[in-house]
Amino acid sequence: SDAGSQKERVVTEEEWIQKWEMGNIGFHKEQGHPLLQKYLDVLLNGRSGLRIFFPLCGKAVEMKWLADMGHSVVGVEVSEQAVKEFFSEHSLPYCEEPVPEISGAKMFQSTSGNISLYCCSIYDLSSSIVGKFDGVWDRGALVAVNPRDRQRYVSLMISLMEKNSSYLLVTVSYDPNKHKGPPFYVPESEIKSLFG
């Protein structure tokens, strides 16, 4: 297939942590993503006070933006540095506690209680730990997942969704023979087969 050359590629969690240490985070955008602003109505669908999930969240500024609108935000990120930078860059006081169900994991929560970031691998989460969500903002998440883990990632995401939840997904369109990723190329046909 046209994405064949990327299929075997693996970026380890350790490599992601190193990217953060080296400041190699070109994916981070200081300004909120224009597509979230454009499709916010689709995500919210007239609802307020939603629980919104940010898989592979980095220090995405949109988490603050949605929390300020009255929603409750949960993210998961393997780099503790990213999580701490999120809170410090927005001058948000937070507390830190272990997650009893996941060995080695920590949960960082804003003192106001509306932003909770889990520092662990997304594959350690389940709905019994984080609950279910009314909305998902997936930018730099499915496209950052190793191609071999896509099915597992999507099955997990589906298990974290409430019945009427909305899922906004951003992908990147490019020639996968010219760039090894991430972001990986995820063709629309694969998105359809993964999510059904």
Query: Which residues lie near ligand SAH (CB under 6 A)?
Result: 13, 16, 27-28, 56-58, 60, 76-79, 82, 121-123, 139-141, 144
Q: Answer yes or no: is 31 a known binding residue.
A: no
Give the residue ranges of DSSP H helices in the chain: 13-22, 34-44, 62-68, 80-89, 127-130, 150-159, 188-195
Residue 23 counted as an annotated binding residue: yes
137 is in an annotated binding site: no
Q: How far is the CB of 13 from ligand SAH (least distance, A)?
A: 5
Nearest residue (CB) to ligand SAH, 2 versus 13: 13
77: helix, strand or coil = strand
| Residue-by-residue DSSP string for 139-176 | ESSTTTS-GGGHHHHHHHHHHTEEEEEEEEEE-----T
Residue 115 or residue 141: which is nearer to ligand SAH going by CB? Answer: 141
> Is residue 77 annotated as involved in ligand binding?
yes
Query: Nearest distance from residue 102's CB to ligand SAH, in Å?
Result: 12
